Each structure stands twice: as structure tokens, then as C-alpha cells.
């Protein structure tokens, strides 16, 4: 028995053909970082909400993947509010055979 499968691109949003897939992936990675910090600090959602200046249900929704309403800028500001340095690096594209990328490291 063979199982058919398709190797993903590394961006699930692109794989399911969502518009602005790269932006969605960047947001997802930023939210993942926010979630890691909240968990590492053992913060309750209400405590995190106070730090970030939002309501607890907003934190709950964001951490459950409902983050379309947040800009990349706002998510980066959340990280700063969580006492993180956020660096943006711009560099020339080295591989001209691929399109330029947005990336969160």
C-alpha cells in the first residue's frame, strides 16, 4: 500500500493558497514567540493582557490563532512590552532564483 503525500512549502498558509501567506506566517511566528514568553513566565492570560494593554479574551483569541486583526507592527510591540529586543534586518537577496522573503528568527 502506498500513501500519497505532498511535501509542504514550509508555509502552510501558502500551501492552502491564502492571500498574503507570507504575512500570515510572520504573524504566526510572532504570536508563537509571544506565547513562549507568556508560558515561560507562567503568566495568566489576564496578567499578559494587562502587560500588552489588551483584554484577556483578546489574548485567548490571539493564542488560539485568531490574529488576523493584529498588524505585524503591533505584534512586535507586544514583544517589546514583554521586555524583548526586536530587531529588523534588511539584507540583499543572495539567491536570485527565489523571491525575497519575510522571516522571523
Read off the pLDDT of residues 26-53 as tens digits, 9 standing for 90 and up.
999 999 999 999 999 999 999 999 999 9
What is the pLDDT at residue 67?
93
Phi, psi angle pair for 93, to nearest 5°: -70, 125
Confidence (pTM)? 0.84
CATH code of the domain made up of 24-81: 1.10.260.40
Which has more confidence, 2 or 27?
A: 27
CB 81 within 8 A of CB 43: no
CB 69 within 8 A of CB 78: no
Q: Which of 25, 3, 1 is nearest to 12 (CA)?
A: 25
Percent helix, strand and coil across the chain, each to the nearest 5? 50, 0, 50
- Give dist(CA 46, CA 97) in Å, integer: 46
Amino acid at each position: 500500500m502506498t500513501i500519497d503525500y505532498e511535501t509542504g512549502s514550509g508555509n502552510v498558509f501558502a500551501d492552502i493558497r491564502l492571500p498574503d501567506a507570507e504575512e500570515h506566517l510572520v504573524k504566526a511566528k510572532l504570536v508563537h514567540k509571544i506565547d513562549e514568553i507568556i508560558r515561560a513566565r507562567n503568566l495568566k492570560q489576564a496578567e499578559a493582557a494587562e502587560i500588552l494593554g489588551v483584554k484577556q479574551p483578546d489574548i485567548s483569541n490571539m493564542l488560539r490563532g485568531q490574529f488576523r486583526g493584529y498588524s505585524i507592527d503591533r505584534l512586535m510591540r507586544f514583544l517589546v512590552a514583554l521586555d524583548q529586543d526586536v530587531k529588523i534586518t534588511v539584507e540583499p537577496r543572495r539567491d536570485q532564483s527565489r523571491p525575497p522573503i519575510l522571516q522571523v528568527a
